[in-house]
Structure 1
Amino acid sequence: MYAESQNDITRLVVQCAQLLLAYGAESELVEDISQRLGKALGLASIEISISSNSLVLTSLVHGRCITTTRRIRAHGINMMVVCELQRICLLAEKGIYGVNEVRRRLSRVEPRSYPAKAVIPMIGLSCASFCHLLGGDVMACMLTLLASTIGMSVRLFIAKHHFNLLVNFSITAFCINIVAQLGYIYPITDTPQTAMAASVLLLVPGFPLINAISDMVKGHMSVGIARWGQASLLTLASVIGITIAMQIGGIF
């Protein structure tokens, strides 16, 4: 293998690893996909070191090493991107994709998401369902539906304008809690506390927490702790928004 070919393949592998980390894949999966893709494209071995916001990748062919470093900028969780990268790796292993085809496919990988008009009502219905499971009455479920629908609309609006995620969670929690307090201000439900609890469930950072635990269990302690810290900060931001709203509404 020529040095130019090794350089090209190394860039493709590190680009794949960078996309996986940026869109929420766990560290073990990133290592596995990177090593498999590199070997499928002709590299002898791939060594990768992952930290909270960067990765270092080394490729080896005939005793010649190439090391490259990339910075990771989180783009949010998107499993469609992760699945597409896994599909590229599988097809490369089967010999269907060569270097040129992998390069073309990687350049076309873009995050896709469901439209807001579908996400917002589904989030509202899911939070209302949790309210019902927690013992809320019909009016509490309706109030939860209203509060969580408004909250998700606010969250998507703020995200569209690229505000800091912590600010996003705090403002969203504030708006949700202000609406949910209607159950205390007006005697429309016997379980207003259930509506307040269920309506903010859309802000629980479940996926980052799962990834954090998975990384720590599998030996990626630094990445796991960083992800745990990020999830904890998101939770704290939500708590701050809820607390301010409850102080304004006099719930305490």
Structure 2
Amino acid sequence: MYAESQNDITRLVVQCAQLLLAYGAESDLVEEISQRLGKALGLASVELSISSNALVLTSLVHGRCITTTRRIRAHGINMMVVCELQRICLLTEKGIYSANEVRRRLARIEPRTYPAKFVIPMIGLSCASFCHLFGGDLMACLITFFAAAAGMSVRLFLASKHYNLLVNFAITAFCINVVAQVGYVWPVTETPQTAMAASVLLLVPGFPLINAISDMVKGHMNVGISRWGTASLLTLASVIGITIAMQLGGIF
């Protein structure tokens, strides 16, 4: 393998690893896909070191090493991108994709999301379902539905304006709690506290927490602790927004 080919393949592998980390894949999966893709394209071995905001990748061919570093900028969780990268790896291992085809496929990857007009009512319905499971009455479920739907609308709007994620969570939690306090202002439900608790469940950072535990269990302590810290900060931002809304509404 010529040096130019090794350089090109190393860039493809590190780009794949960078996309996997940016869109929420766990560290063990990133290592596995990177090593499999590199070997399928002709590299002798691929070694990867992952930190909280960067990765270092070294490729080896005939005793010649190339090391490159990339910075990780989180783009939010998107399993479509992760699944597409896994698909590229599998087809490359089968010999269907060459290095040029992998390059074209990686350049064409764009994260797709569900339309807001579908996401907002479904989030409201899911939180209302939790309210029902928690023992809330019909009016509490309706309040939860509208509070969660309004909160998701605010969250998507702030995300489109590229607000800091902590600010996004705090403002969203505040707006949700303000709407959910209807059950306290007007005696339309006997379980207003259930509506307030269920309506903010959309802000629970479940995926980062799962990834954090998975990384720590599999030995990636630094990345796991970083993701745990991020999830804890998001939870704290939500608590701040809820507390301010409850103080202003006199709930305490």
Query: What SS does the aligned partner of 2:65 have?
Result: strand
**Alignment correspondent of 1:71:** 71
**Alignment correspondent of 1:53:** 53
Q: CA deviation at 1:50?
A: 0.1
Query: What SS does the aligned partner of 1:57 have?
Result: strand
Distance 1:242 1:191 in 2: 18
Query: What SS does the aligned partner of 2:66 have?
Result: strand
Query: Unpaired runs of 5+ in structure 1?
Result: none
Runs of at least 4 residues of structure 1 off by over 3 A?
Answer: none
**Alignment correspondent of 1:236:** 236
Distance 1:225 1:178 in 2: 33
For 1:72, the aligned partner's letter is I
Distance 1:118 1:93 in 2: 37
Q: CA deviation at 1:73?
A: 0.1
For 1:174, the aligned partner's letter is F
Query: What SS does the aligned partner of 1:56 have?
Result: strand
Q: CA deviation at 1:181?
A: 0.5
**Alignment correspondent of 2:186:** 186
For residues 163-194 of structure 1, give each alpha carbon's deviation from its aligned partner in whole angstroms, at most 9, with x where no partner exists: 00000000000000000001001000000000
Query: What SS does the aligned partner of 1:97 have?
Result: coil
Distance 2:79 2:110 in 1: 11
Distance 2:30 2:109 in 1: 16
Query: What SS does the aligned partner of 1:58 have?
Result: strand
Q: CA deviation at 1:141?
A: 0.1
**1:1-252 alignment to 2 at 5 Å?**
1-252=1-252
Distance 2:118 2:143 in 1: 19
For 1:29, the aligned partner's letter is L
For residues 223-250 of structure 1, give each alpha carbon's deviation from its aligned partner in whole angstroms, at most 9, with x where no partner exists: 0000000000000000000000000000
TM norm structure 1? 1.00
Query: Unpaired runs of 5+ in structure 2?
Result: none
For 1:249, the aligned partner's letter is G
Query: What SS does the aligned partner of 2:67 have?
Result: strand
Distance 1:123 1:159 in 2: 16
